[in-house]
Amino acid sequence: MFDLSGRRALVTGSSTGIGYALAKGLAGAGAELILNGRNAARLAEAVGRLRDEGATVHAAGFDVTSADEVEKAIGDIEREIGAIDILVNNAGMQRRAPLEQFSHEQWQELMKTNVDSVFLVGQAVARHMIGRQRGKIINICSVQSELGRPNIAAYTASKGAVKMLTKGMAIDWGQHGIQVNGLGPGYFKTELTEALVKDETFSKWLTGRTPSRRWGDVEDLVGAAVFLASNASNFVNGHILYVDGGVTATL
């Protein structure tokens, strides 16, 4: 039920961090990969590492916030590489500032990256999946799809939007054999959170706030991603699976 052999997965924003870990995990379950990123050097390095480990990997360096680039890239992938069976909408960004100091330009950049990309890539891929009457879409949400923290109001708004867009996609596309679900990471050790991990005060607060009493490791996300990408989740649709050590379960 969890075997992804013969499936092809596109993972956006997968040169590093959570996106790379998810792509590697899907490859471990048998999937062929298409990695996406805007930094050509990082993308090539990620592709090379996974190929060295035996994965079948392709690179697709397009801007997920550009409607024209997305449309062209998805068409090229479908024609030249093959059908996209699994889409992981992972590309995202964070900007921290008190909301009263958050500029309109920062708001627009964050929303384009975190929300518009999910709509644009999801829609472009789903149009092909609808014709095949099958497909899996996994949108990367966050515990901030449910919870707030100081100085990240815009990010929280964006991830709340991704949660509800996930449900909307499931409602519209479920009739076509497509399952659309969200994966909601808690606090994970990545390049982007390194400063927080090293902040003893914050780490002490976080581990005390987390029932599992630790930070997440990116490998903790792999099982959930494989489940949502595989036949094991064929009747799971419009669900947000939080992988957070229990953060969303407690005050």
Q: CB 249: neighbour CB atoms within 10 A?
A: 10
pLDDT confidence of residue 111: 98
pLDDT confidence of residue 232: 98
Q: Is residue 166 part of a domain?
A: yes
Mean pLDDT to the nearest integer, 227-234: 98
Paired tokens of 163: 């949660």
Q: Is residue 140 part of a domain?
A: yes
Mean pLDDT to the nearest integer, 75-95: 97
CATH code for the domain in which residue 106 is found: 3.40.50.720
What pLDDT digit, counting tens, does each position of 16-42 carry?
999 999 999 999 999 999 999 999 999
pLDDT confidence of residue 11: 98
pLDDT band at 192 (very low <50, low <70, confident <90, very high): confident
Check whether 191 has a pLDDT greater than 90.
no
pLDDT band at 98 (very low <50, low <70, confident <90, very high): very high
The catalytic residue among 20, 155, 187, 242 is 155
Residue 46 lies in domain: 8-244
Q: Is residue 53 left, alpha or beta, with left meaning phi > 0 and alpha meaning psi from -120 to 50?
A: alpha
Angle between helices 67-80 and 117-132 (to 10 degrees): 30
Q: Is residue 204 part of a domain?
A: yes
User: Residue type at 234?
Assistant: N
pLDDT confidence of residue 251: 85
pLDDT band at 74 (very low <50, low <70, confident <90, very high): very high
Q: What is the DSSP secondary-structure string of 175-235?
A: GGTEEEEEEEE-SB-SGGGHHHHH-HHHHHHHHHHSTT-SPBPGGGGHHHHHHHHSGGGTT
Q: What is the mean pLDDT of the chain?
A: 97
Q: Is residue 94 part of a domain?
A: yes
Q: How far is CA 225 from CA 15, 58, 139, 229, in A?
A: 17, 20, 10, 6
User: Residue type at 28?
Assistant: G
Residue 155 bears catalytic tag: yes
* Alpha carbon distance 229, 221 (integer Å): 12
Q: Is residue 249 part of a domain?
A: no
User: Residue type at 177?
Assistant: G
Rounded percentage of the chain residues whose pLDDT exceeds 70: 100
Beta strands 57-60 and 240-243 are: unpaired
Q: Is residue 24 part of a domain?
A: yes
Q: Is residue 3 part of a domain?
A: no
Mean pLDDT to the nearest integer, 64-89: 98
Paired tokens of 115: 């929300």
Low-confidence winner among 174-183, 188-197, 240-249 (lowest mean pLDDT) = 188-197
Q: Is residue 63 left, alpha or beta, with left meaning phi > 0 and alpha meaning psi from -120 to 50?
A: beta
> Do 156 and 112 touch, CB atoms closer than 8 A?
no
Number of domains forming the structure of the chain: 1
For the full predicted model, state whether its pTM sits above 0.95. yes
